[in-house]
Chains A and B, each alone.
Chain A
């Protein structure tokens, strides 16, 4: 199971309003899930928990069969380095590194990821292969400065970085909102294919209903997180 959530409650400050109250959520390995919901419904907060950045105040979270609550903060960082790829809405790339270096950056904090990339033919080779599969020829783009890329190209580099070293889970927070309509669909198409190739579970947050056909499942935050959003007190 890629994600298993049980009676999760989360609030930003003690005594503050509950932002998340999720009785149950399960996402199977290899699934491709779209999370939709209005602004402020707690999508980003949920991704923070799924990536091990924050812990819920109560309830259980298992990511890739690992109970996050048993891990220290440092261990959760290491877990993220080993097993999770992250794509932001924009500004995904470090400006002083080249395209290929940005992709390989994901191997910096994880020996496991380095080893898996090496097992897949070598770190640089895998970076180049991923860039190619995302439509960026390494010969043309590999050594480019990232500010010489279009926004759509930058997002694809971020996807390659999320996927290098074969993580079990890729999460993306509104990765297409900076792209135009045509680019959104082709981007999601490329990312979902690349995840399928790597066997990674994909969880994408987006407002964009048009993306739904690319996913197997869709989770609506409003119904998932109903109790928190209705403002009911949480026991």
Chain B
């Protein structure tokens, strides 16, 4: 029998309060670790949205706004840019490729993106991964549509499904339902906004709008699908475009040239810089969440302290017996510190196990539902450190009842309440 076994046996004899204390520590450790993991995953999933793109070009606006609509497909461009300016820079000798992006229409709540085959060739996300086809092929025919993985899942589309593209972002009015769009391919899941996008060719977008408006219909200029196929549809404007350079060294010179372009007010942003700017606005919430979870942990330790302190009075006998068999106040204090450490170790261990299991169980579902990819299933070194910190914190919290017990046992000596 040593102090360690003694304290464990003592804890086991107070099973219910001990279990509740361990649970409250476990829950708060789960919260701290969970928030940390989500934060980390949200950040990396965010950073993974686009990669390999050197510049994003759009009409002059805020850089975060440009990033939001071009990459995250959130919000709208205040104005479009001309196809001509795009063509000018696409032909620049420093430019390796461009991906034109034309936004504006939607289909059953999902954004429709007009682009070119360059998208499937050059778009990169995460650490340079390219888009893969889960099924079918990129667009070929004017009315071919390539849908993201989530769109296909949510709307039940397979290769060959027919769909109708709506004008604008609203639901219902002005459906271009006379044009026979059909799914030609489904993209593999990326965990980025690509999953929630419906891709059509720029020409198809033109085709939708050429025929748009009652005036033109009335004029009898309504064309059928085959008629449209015969037309040479040239885009007049797009929303933004992504640029890949031959050499990174020319990023700033090209950015300057685009920003100073005479034909129209253009703006070129570095995606990494804009991402950082965007994230720093989000990180306030992140810090708040973290602070709350740490507060919960602290309150769990306060709860443990209360439980240990409250138990001291009815344990005076126990302490007097230990004093009688030769324990000093140091041993009494150590006993309580060991108890506090054991409680926090058990709580922290349980919390870590819980976060690991929950992550393992929910990873797929969260990935599918929120497009948030939970990377780490096994605990990381940082998490072990956090757990070690929690145990040390618990041991420190145990110092309060420990000192109190030591003082009490000194005052009591061998004669305690007869």
Q: Which residue on B lies nearest to A83, using beta carbons?
A: B326
What residues of chain A lie closer than 8 Å to B6, measured between beta carbons?
108
Q: Are B1 and A105 in contact (CB under 8 A)?
A: yes
What residues of chain A lie closer than 8 Å to B321, measured between beta carbons?
88, 91-94, 105
Q: Are B328 and A77 in contact (CB under 8 A)?
A: yes
| Tally of contacts, chain A with chain B, CB under 8 A | 76
**Beta-carbon contacts under 8 Å, A150-195 to B:** 161, 173
Contact of B323 among A53, A95, A108 (CB under 8 A): A53
Q: Are A86 and B418 in contact (CB under 8 A)?
A: no
- B interface secondary structure, majority: helix
Q: Are A44 and B415 in contact (CB under 8 A)?
A: yes
Kindly provide the distance from the CB of A154 to the nearest chain B CB, expressed in whole angstroms.
12
**Beta-carbon contacts under 8 Å, A65-93 to B:** 73-74, 77-78, 80-82, 86, 88-93
> Interface size class for chain A?
20 to 34
Q: Does A57 contact B (CB under 8 A)?
A: no
Kindly provide the distance from the CB of A37 to the nearest chain B CB, expressed in whole angstroms.
16
Given the known interface contacts A95-B13, A96-B9, A104-B1, the answer about A109 and B325 at a Cβ–Cβ threshold of 8 Å is yes
Q: Does A48 contact B (CB under 8 A)?
A: yes
Q: Does B10 contact A (CB under 8 A)?
A: yes
Q: Are A108 and B317 in contact (CB under 8 A)?
A: no
Contact of B413 among A48, A90, A96 (CB under 8 A): A48
**Beta-carbon contacts under 8 Å, A92-129 to B:** 92-97, 101, 104-110
Q: Does A47 contact B (CB under 8 A)?
A: yes
Q: Does B12 contact A (CB under 8 A)?
A: yes
What residues of chain B lie closer than 8 Å to A77, measured between beta carbons?
323, 326-328, 331
What residues of chain B lie closer than 8 Å to A53, measured between beta carbons?
323, 413-414
Q: Are B325 and A81 in contact (CB under 8 A)?
A: yes
Q: Are B1 and A96 in contact (CB under 8 A)?
A: no
Contact of B414 among A51, A97, A104, A161 (CB under 8 A): A51
Q: Which residue on B lies nearest to A74, using beta carbons?
A: B328
Kindly provide the distance from the CB of B285 to the nearest chain A CB, expressed in whole angstroms.
47
8 contacts between A and B (CB under 8 A): A47-B414, A48-B413, A53-B413, A74-B330, A88-B324, A97-B1, A108-B6, A108-B327
Residues of A within 8 A of B (CB): 44, 47-48, 51, 53-54, 73-74, 77-78, 80-82, 86, 88-97, 101, 104-110, 161, 173
